Amino acid sequence: MKDSATVLVTGGTGFLGQHVVGLLQTKADHVTEIRVLDMVPFENKLDYNHTKPLKTFVGSITDEKILKEACHGVQSVIHIAGIPDSAMFPDKDRINEVNVQGTLLTLLTALGTAGIQRFIYCSSMSVAIGNNDVTQGISENDPIPSKRLFEPYASSKLTGERIVLSANSPTFRTVSLRPLVMWGELDTIFVQLSQRMAMWTFGYLPTINCGDVVQHNAYVGNTAWGFVCAEKKLHSDFKKDDPISEMSISVKNESEKSKFCSELRRRSKRMRIDSEFEDFKDTSRDSELSSANIYYIADDNPPENPFKFQDPILTASGYKIIKYPCPLFIMNIVFYIIYGVLVFLRLFGLKFNFPVGLGCLSYYRRSYIFNDAKAREELGYRPLYTPEVALERSLKYYEKFSYRVN
């Protein structure tokens, strides 16, 4: 088929990746073959019909050999693979290696592979949140805060975003999607972490007094649909030989493309030595980057107090939220005590960690609301699942997890 496409999904065995693969199977008629590159073989963990051929490539996105094998014969790359780390002591070297170096190598491989036309990058809403309330809706045009809550993860995703968007050209389209905090089937971080904490505290989840804070979360199925909508839109535009005219173009021709790749590879080798993000900060200066290539993906779930949102899920799982929230200053004291103990232990080489970092406390102090009007207008995105359907689908998963941890 002339208009058919083979799509590679990096990180396709993970939380978001599984949902993207499922929707490529069932909701993307132009996709005739799906490839998944991840550290473990792909296994369909969701309830959908597996009708299109799928190939699994087992390996790391930091391995150029496996990247070249996976990209051969592909027309589009959906790059989701990454390390989310919000622990008290995040592994900076690992985050750097996968989220920056791995993204760079994946992009370079795609640029050097004949036939690849599109590169859809999974960024994060964490690049845009700092110590400030945003109640009017964060949009793509809003400035990036100089200090972000979840470091170094946020900086690694922002660096990857800058690198990817810098490669945009008339023949190689790149976009960056910024998912919100996600929940739903296969979640192991957001609600599941609350379930674990409730289990550790005899079935009751301690809460923080957040005041009037409300936050935007999104059902993972709708986020995944945003990625598929981006793929469908870019494919449609290429088929019509009419790429999105509003997009910013960084690489004008093949000569610039070659120079660009050489420069990225030089910086890649340098980064392996100094292991820092700084050498990529001028890859594409903020003043030269257009927000035209960036999209937030939210859904119709209303912004809500984070603990009120989780209440029905925890109740269905057999847990309860403590009705009297802990004052934030007390929780701050507790966290700093934990931090101090862990620092002391690490002096003796004991690498103990805590799954929740200090940035999480700041996160629960602020309201964060996002505006996805641009994705709806330009990508044709509309949430695939209503809030009621999303909750119904998710409860079945979270209830099973409850039985597993008990």
Per residue in 338-364, pLDDT (tens digit) is: 888 888 888 888 888 777 777 777 787
Q: What is the pLDDT of residue 245?
A: 43
Q: Where are the alpha helices (DSSP H) in 50-98?
A: 64-71, 92-95
Per residue in 159-194, pLDDT (tens digit) is: 999 889 988 888 899 999 999 999 999 988 888 788
Length of the chain counted residue by residue: 406
- In this predicted structure, the answer to whether residue 283 has a pLDDT above a threshold of 60 is no
How far apart, in whole angstroms, are the C-alpha atoms of residue 66 and residue 78? 16
Query: What's the whole-number mean pLDDT along residues 21-25?
Result: 96
Query: What's the whole-number mean pLDDT along residues 366-385?
Result: 92
Per residue in 230-281, pLDDT (tens digit) is: 999 999 887 665 554 445 555 556 666 677 777 777 766 655 544 555 555 5
What's the pTM? 0.87
pLDDT, mean over the chain: 84
Q: What is the pLDDT of residue 273?
A: 42
Q: What is the pLDDT of residue 286?
A: 45
- In this predicted structure, the answer to whether residue 285 has a pLDDT above a threshold of 50 is no
Per residue in 50-85, pLDDT (tens digit) is: 889 999 999 999 999 999 999 999 999 999 999 888
Domains in the chain: boundaries: 5-405
Q: What is the pLDDT of residue 182?
A: 93
Q: Residue 25's pLDDT band (boundaries 50, 70, 90)?
A: very high
What sign does the CA torsion over 195, 198, 203, 207 have?
negative
Share of the chain above pLDDT 90, in %: 41
Residue-wise burial string across 159-194, b where 16 or more C-beta atoms lie within 10 A, e elsewhere: bbbbbbbbbbbeebbbbbbbbbbbbbbbbeebbbeb
From the list 394, 77, 395, 377, the residue with the least C-alpha distance to 222 is: 394
Residues near 139 by beta carbon (within 8 Å), at least 6 away in sequence: 296, 370, 371, 373, 374
Q: In the CATH scheme, what is the homologous superfamily, with its name and number, of domain 5-405?
A: NAD(P)-binding Rossmann-like Domain (3.40.50.720)
Is the Cβ–Cβ distance between 220 and 15 less than 8 Å?
Answer: yes
How far apart, in whole angstroms, are the C-alpha atoms of residue 171 and residue 243? 9
Tokens of 373: 């009007």
- In this predicted structure, the answer to whether residue 132 has a pLDDT above a threshold of 50 is yes
Per residue in 294-338, pLDDT (tens digit) is: 999 999 999 988 888 888 888 888 888 887 877 877 877 887 888
